[in-house]
Amino acid sequence: MPSYIGQSIKRNEDPRLITGRGVFSDDVDVPGTLYAAFARSPHGHARIISIDTSAAKAAPGVEAVITGHDLQGVPPIPVGFAPPSAPAVPPNHVLPTQKVVYVGQAVAAVIARDPYQAQDAAQLIEVEYEPLAAVVDPLMALEPGSPQIYAEVPGNLGFTMSSGSNDVEAALKASDEVITLRVVNNRVAVVPLENRAIVAQYDAFDRGLTVTLGTQQPHGDRSAFGRIVGVPENRVRLYAHDVGGGFGAKGNVYPEEAVTALMAYRLRKAVRWSDSRSENLRTMTQGRAHLTEITLGVRRDGTFTALDTKVVADLGGVLAPVGAASVGSIMTMCCGPYKFPVARAAARAVYTNTAPTGPYRGAGRPEATYALERAVDEAARRLNMDPVELRKKNLIEPNQFPYTTPVGPVYDTGNYQAALEIGLKEVDYDHFRAEQRRLRAQGRYVGIGVTTFVEPAGALFWEFAEIRVDRSGKVTVYSGGGPTGQGHETILAQIAASELQVPVESIEVVHGDTGAVAMGVGSFGSRSTILGGSATLHAAQQVREKMRAVAAGMLEARVDDIQLDDGRFHVAGNPARGLDFGAIAGFSYFGVSPAQEPGISARESFQMNAVAYPFGTHICIAEVNPENGEITIQRYLGVDDCGTMINPMLVAGQLHGGFAQGFGEAMMEQVLYDSDGQLLTGSLMDYAVPKASQVPAIEFLHTVTPSPLDPLGAKGVGEAGCIASPPTLVNAVLDALAPLGVTHVDMPLTAPRVWAAIQAAKGGK
Amino acid sequence: MAGNNSIAPVDIRFTVNGQEHQASVEPRLLLVHYLRENLRLTGTHVGCDTSQCGACTVLLNGQAVKSCTLLAVQANGANVTTIEGLEKDGQLSAVQEGFWEKHGLQCGFCTPGMIMAAEYLLSRNPKPTEVEIRQALEGNLCRCTGYVNIVAAVQYAAEKMGGAHVSR
Amino acid sequence: MYPASFAYHAPRSVEEAIALLAEHGDEAKLLAGGHSLLPTMKLRLAQPGHLIDLAGVAGLQGIREEGQRIVIGALTTHDELASSSLIRAKLTALAEAAAVVGDPQVRNRGTLGGSAAHADPNADEPVALVALEAVLVMVGPKGRREVPAVQFFEDIFTTALGADEVLTEIVVPVTSGKLASAYKKLPHPASGFVVVSCAAVLEGDGQRLQAARLGMGGLGGAPVRAAAAEARLAGQAPSEATLAAAAALVSEGTDPADDLYASAAYKRAVAQVYARQALTAAAERLRA
Smallest Cα–Cα separation from A519: which of A606, A620, A585? A606
Chain C CB within 8 Å of residue B125 CB? no
Residue A52 DSSP SS3 = strand
Give the span between the Cα atoms of C262 and C270, in whole angstroms. 10
Close Cβ partners of A38 (under 8 Å, ≥ 6 residues apart): A106, A107, A108, A109, A110, A122, A256, A259, A279
Residue A576 reports pLDDT greater than 50? yes
Residue A128, exposed/middle/buried by CB under 10 A (0-12, 13-18, 19+)? exposed
Question: Is B80 at the interface with chain C, CB within 8 A?
Answer: no
How many Å separate Cα C104 from the centre of its chain? 18
- The residue-averaged pLDDT of C91-118 equals 98
Mean of per-residue pLDDT scores for chain A: 96
Given A11, A19, A689, which is nearest B84 (Cβ)?
A19
Q: For residue A205, name the pLDDT band (cuts at 50, 70, 90).
A: confident
Question: What's the pLDDT score for residue B167?
Answer: 38
pLDDT tens column, A409-419? 999 999 999 99
A60 contacts in chain B (CB < 8 Å): 3-5
Q: Dump pLDDT digits (tens) for A321-349.
A: 988 889 999 999 999 999 999 999 999 99
Question: Contact B4/C5, CB-based, under 8 Å?
Answer: yes
Rounded to whole angstroms, the Cα distance separating A410 from A612 reads: 9
- Residue type for A630, please? E
Max CA pair span of chain B: 56
Q: Do B147 and A692 touch (CB under 8 A)?
A: yes
- CA separation, residue C9 to residues A193, A269, B96, C100, C141 (Å): 35, 37, 39, 31, 18
Residue A595, pLDDT score: 78
Bridge partners of C36? none
Contact yes or no for C263 and A759 at CB 8 A: no
Query: What does the radius of gyration of chain B's CA atoms come to, in whole angstroms?
Result: 16
pTM, entire model? 0.97
Dist CA C42 CA C33 (whole Å): 15
Mean pLDDT within A620-635:
98
In angstroms, the Cα distances linking B39 to A474, B31, B65 are 35, 11, 18
Give the DSSP per-residue string, A468-495: EE-TTS-EEEEE----SSS-HHHHHHHH
Determine the average pLDDT of the residues in B32-52.
Answer: 97
Chain C residues in contact with A627 (beta carbon < 8 A) = 270, 273
Q: Is the pLDDT of residue A393 over 60?
A: yes
Do C1 and B36 touch, CB atoms closer than 8 A? no
Q: Region B50-71: what's the mean pLDDT? A: 98
Chain A, residues 732-751, CB within 8 A of chain C, namely 750-751
Mean pLDDT of A519-524: 96
Mean pLDDT, rounded, for C171-191: 93
Cβ contact C107:C118 at 8 Å: no
Per the CB < 8 Å rule, is C53 touching B6? Answer: no
CA dihedral C210, C216, C219, C220 (to 10 degrees): 100
Does the pLDDT of residue B19 top 60, yes or no? yes
pLDDT per residue as tens digits for the range A125-181: 999 999 999 999 999 999 999 999 999 999 999 999 999 999 999 999 999 999 999
Contact residues, chain A, for C273 at CB < 8 Å: 627-628
A701, pLDDT greater than 80: yes
Beta bridge partners of A224: none
pLDDT at A765: 56
**C44 and A CB contact within 8 Å:** yes
Question: How many residues does this entry show for chain C?
Answer: 288
Give the C-alpha separation, A596 to A400, whole Å.
49
For residues A172 and A734, the answer to whether their CB atoms sit within 8 Å is no
pLDDT (average), residues A353-365: 96
Q: Is B28 on the interface with A (CB under 8 A)?
A: yes
Q: Decide if pLDDT at A199 tops 50.
A: yes
Q: Are A297 and A305 in contact (CB under 8 A)?
A: yes
DSSP string, C80-142: HHHH-HHHHHH-HHHHHHHHTSS-HHHHHH-BHHHHHHHT-TT-SHHHHHHHTT-EEEEEETT
What integer pLDDT is reported at residue B165 of this predicted model?
40
CB contact under 8 A, A10 and B100: yes
CA A67 vs CA A38, A61, A757: distances in Å: 10, 18, 49
The reported pLDDT for the residue numbered A81 is 85
CA-to-CA dists, residue A726 to A13, A63, A730, B88, angstroms: 31, 49, 6, 44
Position B163 scores a pLDDT of 52
Q: By CB neighbour count within 10 A (0-12 exposed, 13-18 middle, 19+ buried), where does A232 fall?
A: exposed
Measure CA C177 to chain center: 23
Query: What's the CA gap between A107 and A97, in Å, rounded?
Result: 8
What is the model's pLDDT at position B43?
Answer: 98
C47 lies within 8 A of chain A by CB: no
What residues form DSSP beta bridges with B98? none
> Which residues are within 8 A (CB) of A595 and not within 5 positions of it... i.e. 6 or more apart?
none
pLDDT at site C182: 98
Q: How many CB atoms lie within 10 A of CB A435?
A: 14
Question: Strand pairing of A475-479 and A508-510?
Answer: parallel
- Which site among C103, C107, C185, C188 would you substitute to test the B interface, given the most B Cβ atoms closer than 10 Å to its Cβ? C103
Indicate whether A2 pLDDT > 90: no
Closest CA to A584 of A556, A546, A557, A614: A546
- Chains in contact with A via at least 3 Cβ–Cβ pairs below 8 Å: B, C
Let me know: does A433 contact A385? Beta carbons within 8 Å.
no
**Beta-carbon separation of C108 and B139 below 8 A:** no
Smallest CA-to-CA distance from A391 within A433, A412, A419 is with A419
**CA dihedral sign of residues B92, A241, B145, A13:** negative
Residue A764, pLDDT above cutoff 70: no
ipTM for this model: 0.97
pLDDT confidence of residue C254: 96
Q: Are A475 and A467 in contact (CB under 8 A)?
A: yes
Measured between beta carbons, the chain C residues lying within 8 angstroms of A750 are 189, 261
B48 — contact with chain A (CB < 8 Å)? yes
At B3, is the pLDDT very low, low, confident or very high (cuts 50, 70, 90)?
low
Evaluate whether B103 touches A649 at the Cβ level (below 8 Å).
Answer: yes
3-state SS, A590-646, equals HCCCCCCCCCEEEEEEEECCCCECCEEEEEEEEEEECCCCEEEEEEEEEEEECECCC
List the one residue out of A380, A270, A388, A372 whose CA is nearest residue A329: A372
C8, B10 contact by CB (below 8 A): yes
Give percent of chain C with pLDDT exceeding 70.
100
A154 CB burial (10 A radius; 0-12, 13-18, 19+): exposed
Per-residue model confidence (pLDDT) at position A663: 98
Q: Work out the average pLDDT over B90-119.
A: 98
